[in-house]
Amino acid sequence: MKIPTNLISGFLGVGKTTAILDLLARKGQSGRWAVLVNEFGQVGIDGARLQASGVMVREVAGGCICCAAQLPLKVALTRLLREVRPERLIIEPTGVGHPAGIIDALRDAWLAPHIELRSVITLVDPQQFADARLQALKTYRDQLALADVLVINRCDLATPAQVQRCLAALEALYPPKLDVACTQQGRLDPDWLDLAYGEVQASWHPAHDEVGCFVSRSLRFEPEVVFHRERLSAWFEALASDARILRAKGVLRVGRDWQDYELAGGQLTVAPITWRRDSRVEVVAQTPAPDWAQIEAALTAARMASPG
């Protein structure tokens, strides 16, 4: 049976370890949990705090487990799963790490048969969020983009204006999160651990604006689906040449990478993104609507069998 696994992420000092300790304290004796914690320094302070909770803890100190082809992560996880056989696994990456590398490692052929990846929870400090220097850090932005659930922690230590600005910005992120919530003292809702997206499928979303009628089409694909870079670019270029298409955006797994696509005003921009939950696109068009079946068939043709 696969082990339910969560990442609890966030920047330095945001309260990740406190949040995990609170979860462990509230779960009581029910279930056998294990925690893998990564600290950038050589001395594992967070690991020592978690060890005192009585839960089996493994540390990877002295570097980021997101890097170096994830070998330290794979070795530590293999030992932990073999020795403990936990019923739930929590991974706490270092606050300066790139957790997308952990997701990639958990999905590879070595670990995927044993791991069931559930929600990624990222904690955010509203006072940190207000710091423009932090916003400029790619690592910080990546942690927000990767999350399934964003939790604004330490709301009691920030001003109401800081909390509201942070909340509005996080709720506007694309792709949208499963939940964006506020808390204090690292208190997480245990239900967040098992939140899941709905069935991956195409769906119609008719809508109207003040100046006319438009329709949108949304498509989602499992994370194992991989797209061919050149074919995908050609697909977006075909959309750009259709006067009925007002806008298109998507996050898709392309080769070994994940890319953020934005088509507006006939111009396509592409940028790397750490999102890993699924591939998805949204297309907005004027009526009469384009041939959605043809558009979907062309997108399907842009898929490839495996990463490359």
34-43, 69-78, 211-220: range with lowest mean pLDDT: 34-43
Strand extents, DSSP E, 153-293: 179-182, 203-208, 213-221, 226-227, 245-254, 257-264, 267-272, 279-286
d(CA 1, CA 114): 7
Check: CB of residue 7 under 8 Å from CB of residue 77. Answer: no
User: According to the model, what pLDDT value does residue 15 have?
Assistant: 93
Handedness of CA 114, 72, 19, 51 (dihedral sign): positive
Can you give the pTM of this predicted structure?
0.85
Confidence of residue 53 (pLDDT cuts 50, 70, 90): low
Q: What is the pLDDT of residues 205-258, one digit of tens each?
A: 444 443 457 888 888 888 999 999 999 999 999 999 999 999 999 999 998 899
52-66, 101-115, 221-235, 264-278: range with lowest mean pLDDT: 52-66
User: According to the model, what pLDDT value does residue 78 have?
Assistant: 87
For residue 110, pLDDT over 50 is answered with: yes
Q: Look at residues 202, 301, 205, 288 and name the one whose alpha carbon lies nearest to residue 245.
A: 288
Helix, strand, coil fractions of the chain, as percent rounded to 5 = 35, 30, 35
Check: CB of residue 169 under 8 Å from CB of residue 200. Answer: no
203-304: CATH class: alpha beta
d(CA 34, CA 42): 21
47 against 8, higher pLDDT: 8
Average of per-residue pLDDT across 142-150: 95
Q: What is the pLDDT of residues 151-207, one digit of tens each?
A: 999 999 999 999 999 999 999 999 999 999 999 999 999 999 998 765 555 444 444
Check: CB of residue 295 under 8 Å from CB of residue 217. Answer: yes
Q: What is the pLDDT of residues 247-291, one digit of tens each?
A: 999 999 998 899 999 999 889 999 999 999 999 999 999 888 888
3-194: CATH class: alpha beta
Average of per-residue pLDDT across 39-46: 48
Could you tell me the residue ranges of all domains in the chain?
A: 3-194, 203-304
Q: What does the block give as tokens for 95?
A: 């606050």
The dihedral over CA atoms of 128, 131, 133, 137, expressed in degrees to the nearest 10, equals 40
Confidence of residue 308 (pLDDT cuts 50, 70, 90): very low
The terminus-to-terminus CA distance of the chain in angstroms comes to 30
For residue 115, pLDDT over 70 is answered with: yes
